[in-house]
A and B are shown apart, each in its own frame.
Chain A
Amino acid sequence: MKILITGGHVVDPANEVDRKADVGIADGRIRFVGNAEPGFSPDRTIDASGRWVLPGLVDLCARLREPGEEQKATIASETAAAAAGGITGLVCPPDTWPVVDTPAMANMIRDRAESGGFSRVHPLGALTVGLAGERLTDMAMLADAGCVGVSNGLRAVENTLIMRRAMQYASTFDIPVFLSPQDPWLMGNGVVHEGEISTRLGLPAIPEAAETVGVARDLALIETSGARSHISLLSCARSVGMVREARESGLPVSVSVAIHQLLLTERNIGAFDTRYKVIPPLRTETDRDALVEGVLDGTIDVICSDHQPHGADAKLAPFGEAATGIAGLESLLPLTLSLVRSGVLPRSRAVAALTASPARVIGIDAGHLTPGGRADICVVDPEHRWRFMPETMKSRGRNSPFIGEELVGRVEMTLASGRPTFELETP
């Protein structure tokens, strides 16, 4: 199958391509970017005039709910949603039920994703058995089974010595360690950022120090263990500064932020609006601005969806008891592009944070449009205005504060290994 995408504007930060160019695909791989090869006769030609042609997105944090919570969502439903969001590869944390702490679990998740045929799923293996923070997992075997890193999910390894050993062991095999730095004691039963809003609404709070203490500990352990590490979902201005300094001193650490942290603050919670309940919590304008600045200067490499689909009733509860998280796969790209439109982020930086950078973090050959490489491609109409509505979503989770909003920029087509995994139906 040969495909020609003509007339589009190719944005491929990994190859420093940012111009109008045709893209030729043959046998699932990129054949050329630019002038068509003589004699290239496509079976299908896609007119991408006025469209942007990007590498397929790689999302470093998406919960698929399978295994264990199939009533909320499945690998099939969520990988289809990912494809609709232009995502061709995604990373899922190991905090499923059962936990991904054996090669069999990792294989099962990858097999199910493959048989669905939408986006590729790259599981994270558990750092400790059952995420209990006590015994190390068979990390090398998990890596053999396709785990692109190890993580303890949102559960902190409380014992610092075990954490250090886990990181040392992972570094033995150069397996990336995904960290969610939160001090569990300071986090307590908190549900919102500690500040003006928690005080006014009387909600249990998570202080900034819950994150900075966690980041300080983890940075110290990265330094002593040498483990290639990824700090997931940073939320505080102070921790951006700490990571910046650590990176300047050469620590092998990369960082991601959830897209909603770049757009929202604690004020959006208003009157106990549970749609805005996320962990780490939405923080202040100062924090949001510092996170954006971090993306701009490269301290934060990656923007991810932190996709967490829930059933319809999960958010219909008092704030403290409502479910946590946003179903974000299908809004990741348009929301990121909103930062480009408003002049906050240059286009190439935004696209890199969704493609080449996350691919580099997990060491996969993706996130670029290099001839010879896999044809993972997202074609987006940057001017398409559309209303984000539950009935247009492919995800089973309809829990998003962006529902009902007009978004600008819509994925028209997603190709994984040269095969269309999503095509927007034209009305």
Chain B
Amino acid sequence: MSDSRSIPSDSAIQFDSHGRLRHFLTIHGMPRETLLGILDTAESFISFGQREIRKVPLLRGKTLVNLFFEPSTRTRTTFEIAAKRLSADVINLSATRMSTSKGETILDTVRTLEAMHTDMFVVRDSASGSSHLIASHLPPHVRVINAGDGRHAHPTQAMLDMFTIRREKGGFEGLRVAIIGDILHSRVARSQIHALGTLGVDEIRVIGPRTLIPTEIEAMGVRAFSDMRAGLRDVDVIMMLRLQRERMEGQLVPSEQEYFSRYGLTEDKLKLASPDAIVMHPGPINRGLEIASSVADGEKSVILSQVTNGIAVRMSIMATLMGGTDRENGPVTP
């Protein structure tokens, strides 16, 4: 019986019956062309920031709700700027929710806002799967962008990382990429791994102590290293992760000093990577915990470009999702 049962991928819900992208919830299962299309469109938006008139009317008359159940000023702001440059009306909601039946449930909140004619939700929540839940309970014309759900996915962050890599490296073929730090709790790492795999880099490595590497991570197509020096050898792209301070209380990692001694990115360790390697970080940075200041601010660092690119990439994702149904606006070519 179970064998005849169709097992859905967590990606299927993102596409409508015509194969058009409706939601942006996870990179897992997304076709390569979809990802490249988003990167190409982002490329056309990148010069925008420098123009005098920074707006296009692609989302004029549309309402976007930034629904953040977890506080985040940075990410919310980049979504807000991206939406405004596309001429959308933006409403920011920093909501809190009780984690059980007490109070309004996450679906109640979303349905209430949807009843006010919201066209697109950008959702961040501390529970893995929240944006899938929301997307599966909204009418078909409403779009959902996952701005981070628990440990599961942060697909727009991964896309801006891919955009940055392509700009710096010219493409993905032949690249060796290392993701370093708390892989276990990182939604960023999971989305990066799916994106890098789909875009066809040569090798993906994850580096960290065994307490922070999830079980069976190899099934995601990566090689796991616990020796950072071995893992860094000849890599072209170094993607650092933020280590939450609350993980440093002695149960997963003994101390900040010990962590930095083994897994902090220093100038010395950086020499093991390829000479033209780039250093990335999703921010905010813990200087002296996962990365030395001199590296974060050094010539190999592209951390600030990531922030700038984030706006163009999020504009591209929003335009792509709305373009799926809004035919009168024509193809997305600003």
Residues of A within 8 A of B (CB): 194-196, 198-203, 205, 207, 263-265, 267-268, 270-273, 288, 313, 316-321, 335, 338, 342, 405
Contact = CB atoms under 8 A, between A and B. Distances in A.
Contacts, number: 100
Contact of B125 (A268, A316, A318): A318
A321 B99 CA distance: 7
Interface in B268-317: none
Given A198-B214, A201-B10, A202-B150, A319 B220 contact: no
Contact of B132 (A264, A268, A271): A271
B132 A272 contact: yes
B153 A268 contact: no
Contacts of B127: 318-321
Nearest to B129: A272
B138 interface: no
Interface of B: 1-2, 5, 7-13, 28, 99-101, 105-107, 125, 127-130, 132-133, 137, 149-153, 187, 190, 214-217, 219-220
22 contacts: A198-B215, A199-B220, A200-B10, A201-B152, A202-B153, A203-B152, A263-B2, A268-B7, A271-B9, A271-B13, A271-B132, A272-B129, A316-B107, A317-B105, A317-B106, A318-B106, A318-B127, A318-B128, A318-B133, A321-B127, A342-B1, A405-B1
B109 to A, nearest CB: 12
Contacts of B8: 270-271, 273
A272 B133 contact: yes
A268 B220 CA distance: 18
Contacts of A196: 216, 219
Interface secondary structure of B, over-half rule: loop
Nearest to B189: A202
Contact of A316 (B28, B100, B133, B215): B133
Given A201-B10, A202-B152, A318 B219 contact: no
A93 B269 CA distance: 57
A265 B1 CA distance: 12
B188 to A, nearest CB: 11
Nearest to A263: B2
B190 A200 contact: yes
A311 to B, nearest CB: 9
Contact of A205 (B9, B100, B215): B215
A363 B19 CA distance: 59
Count chain B CB atoms within 10 A of each CB in A196, A270, A271 and give the residue with the most. Answer: A271
Contacts of A270: 7-10
B215 A195 contact: yes
Given A203-B128, A271-B132, A321 B100 contact: yes
A195 B218 CA distance: 11
Count chain B CB atoms within 10 A of each CB in A263, A265, A320, A342 and give the residue with the most. Answer: A320
Contacts of B220: 199-200
B128 A202 contact: yes
User: Which 7 residue pairs of A and B lie closest in terms of their CB atoms, listed nearest first?
Assistant: A202-B151, A272-B129, A318-B127, A271-B10, A202-B152, A270-B8, A199-B214
Nearest to A273: B8
Nearest to A269: B7
A268 B153 CA distance: 20
A264 B2 CA distance: 6
A34 B37 CA distance: 74
Contacts of A202: 128, 149-153, 187, 190
Contacts of A205: 214-215
B160 to A, nearest CB: 20
B133 A317 contact: yes
Contacts of B216: 195-196, 199
Contact of A194 (B9, B101, B215): B215
Contacts of A313: 101, 105
Contacts of A318: 106, 125, 127-130, 133, 149-150
A30 B293 CA distance: 84
Given A202-B150, A207-B215, A272-B133, A320 B128 contact: yes
Given A272-B129, A321-B99, 10 more contacts: A199-B215, A200-B190, A201-B128, A203-B129, A205-B215, A264-B2, A273-B8, A316-B133, A320-B150, A405-B1
Contact of B7 (A200, A267, A405): A267
A200 B28 CA distance: 9
Contacts of A338: 1
Contacts of B28: 200
A96 B52 CA distance: 67
Count chain B CB atoms within 10 A of each CB in A200, A202, A203 and give the residue with the most. Answer: A202
A273 B12 CA distance: 13
A203 B151 contact: yes
A199 B9 contact: no
Contacts of A272: 10, 128-129, 132-133
A271 B190 CA distance: 15
B216 to A, nearest CB: 5
B334 to A, nearest CB: 33
Nearest to A341: B1
Count chain B CB atoms within 10 A of each CB in A195, A198, A318 and give the residue with the most. Answer: A318
A335 B2 CA distance: 10
A273 B128 CA distance: 12
Contacts of A263: 1-2
A198 B150 CA distance: 12
A268 B128 contact: no
A295 B328 CA distance: 62
Given A199-B217, A199-B220, A202-B190, A271 B12 contact: yes
A316 B111 CA distance: 13
Nearest to A288: B2
Contacts of A195: 215-216
Nearest to B152: A202
A200 B151 CA distance: 9
B106 to A, nearest CB: 7
Contacts of B132: 271-272
A196 to B, nearest CB: 4
Contacts of B130: 318
A264 to B, nearest CB: 5
Given A313-B105, A317-B105, A318-B106, A199 B219 contact: yes
Nearest to B133: A318
A393 to B, nearest CB: 18
Nearest to B194: A200
